[in-house]
Amino acid sequence: MNFLAPETLNPVARPVAKPALLSIIVPTFNEQDNIAELVGRLDAVLSGLSWEVVFVDDDSTDGTVKALRELSQTDARVRFLHRINRRGLSSAVVEGILSTASQYIAVMDADLQHDEKLLRDMLERLRITNCDVVVGSRYLQDGGVEEWDESRQAISRLATKIAQRVLKTELSDPMSGFFMMRRDAFDRSVRRLSAMGYKILLDILASARPPLSVSEVPYVFRNRLHGESKLDSAVAWEYLMLLLDKTIGRAVPVRFVMFTAVGGLGVVVHMLTLATLNQMFAVPFMQSQAIATVMAMTMNFFANNMLTYRDKRLKGGWQILGGLLSFYAVCSIGAISNVGIAAFMFDQHYSWWLAGIAGILLGAVWNYAVSSIFTWRK
């Protein structure tokens, strides 16, 4: 017996809802007090247009998800994705865009610092010109920031100059988080995106083939009204990872570069610990070496957890303990491999330094590859 209604059996008879002309992607984390205000502002400035807003939330802890769910139940233009065990503004934007079918896509923050009044003008510019992306710029004439101190302005200017060199463009604000683009422009870059850190515009422009044509409009970056800034001390590290990935990532995985950089710091920790115990406190060499090895591996684990694998970092006592023990096991096998390949090459009459480098490289590749699978496997 078929219990389906007749209209469900005839696809021709079913009305087809057209996708919105414009989708606005808004990453969120603990922005409860800004959600309704932002939607109200979008409603006011986009009246008469077919639009939707897609919030992508990284498992907020302040009630943001509840606010999004309630709002989406009363306004069909409001959708949201709730991500669990995944973090990062760039990856949130990518997932949000991929969930839409609109011809035009805008990206903006939830903190009300971007000027939503520009959205209609940005859309019109895309529709009547041949440009692929319209960027809201803080650095054009009539643009600016409301209340940044000198240090933040200096850091922003330096980051902008570095980004301009990577892009090889005169774009005034490649670090902008406020822009609109055509769907096909995103499609030309999405498979090459790094999705690292928080500068998704830079990632898109550096990844697109052929290059995208860009237009800019000035705007004043406003002060945050509610909530706290998400910028922290690791933002600069994430930005460095993105730049490296866009420059050398095709030849060498950027995580491997960072992993070996952290490993270099581990060597320093190892030697300092060894010298302190053996030379200053006369601890026997083998005991000093064993303690120094554990100290270096411990430092490497926590540094990689906070930096190299920031987007997959382990949290909570049991996760960290399990990850640390697995990292000890991986690195112990890596050390054995290091010594083994170095001894084999030395016995084959290779020079001592070449044998040593081969051992170090094998150990580093082993530690990176296996720890990626077992320690940071999310």
Are 135 and 171 within 8 A, CB to CB? yes
Domain identity same for 222 and 260: no
Domain identity same for 327 and 220: no
* Residues with Cβ within 8 Å of residue 179, at least 6 apart in sequence: 106, 107, 122, 133, 134, 135, 136, 201
Query: What residue numbers bound the domain in which 333 lies?
Result: 254-374
Task: Indicate whether 294 pLDDT > 70.
Answer: yes
Domain identity same for 127 and 173: yes
Burial class (CB in 10 A: 0-12, 13-18, 19+), 167: middle
What is the predicted pLDDT for the residue at 305? 93
Task: Single out the residue of 56, 73, 62, 182 nearest to residue 109, CA to CA.
Answer: 56
Domain identity same for 79 and 20: yes
Task: Single out the residue of 175, 3, 155, 2 nearest to residue 89, CA to CA.
Answer: 175
Specify the residue for token string 């065990």.
85
Domain identity same for 224 and 259: no
Cα(353)–Cα(268) distance, integer angstroms: 19
Question: Which tens digits make up the pLDDT trace of 61-79?
Answer: 989 999 999 999 999 999 9
Question: Which tens digits make up the pLDDT trace of 194-203?
Answer: 877 678 998 8
Task: Indicate whether 338 pLDDT > 80.
Answer: no
The percentage of the chain sitting over the pLDDT mark of 90, rounded to a whole number, equals: 46
Domain final residue pick, 230, 262, 283: 230
Domain identity same for 199 and 297: no
Domain final residue pick, 230, 246, 280: 230
CATH number at residue 69: 3.90.550.10
Task: Indicate whether 142 pLDDT > 70.
Answer: yes
Furthest C-alpha separation in the chain: 88
Instruction: Quote the radius of gyration of the chain (alpha carbons, Å).
Output: 26
Task: Indicate whether 225 pLDDT > 70.
Answer: no
Task: Single out the residue of 44, 45, 38, 173 nearest to residue 108, CA to CA.
Answer: 38
Q: What average pLDDT does range 109-115 have in this prediction?
A: 93
Domain identity same for 224 and 266: no
Cα(359)–Cα(366) distance, integer angstroms: 11
Domain identity same for 186 and 269: no
Burial class (CB in 10 A: 0-12, 13-18, 19+), 317: exposed
What is the predicted pLDDT for the residue at 86? 81
Higher pLDDT, 339 or 215: 215
- The answer to whether residue 1 sits within a structural domain is no
Phi, psi of 250 (to 5 degrees): -75, -25
* Count of domains for the chain: 2
Higher pLDDT, 310 or 297: 297
Task: Indicate whether 49 pLDDT > 80.
Answer: yes
φ/ψ bin of 277: left (φ > 0), alpha (ψ from -120 to 50), beta (otherwise): alpha
Mean pLDDT of the chain: 86
- The answer to whether residue 240 sits within a structural domain is no
User: Of the ranges 137-141, 154-158, 178-182, which one carries the lowest mean pLDDT score?
Assistant: 154-158
Task: Indicate whether 117 pLDDT > 70.
Answer: yes
Task: Indicate whether 11 pLDDT > 70.
Answer: no
What is the predicted pLDDT for the residue at 311? 77
Domain identity same for 164 and 25: yes
Domain identity same for 294 and 223: no
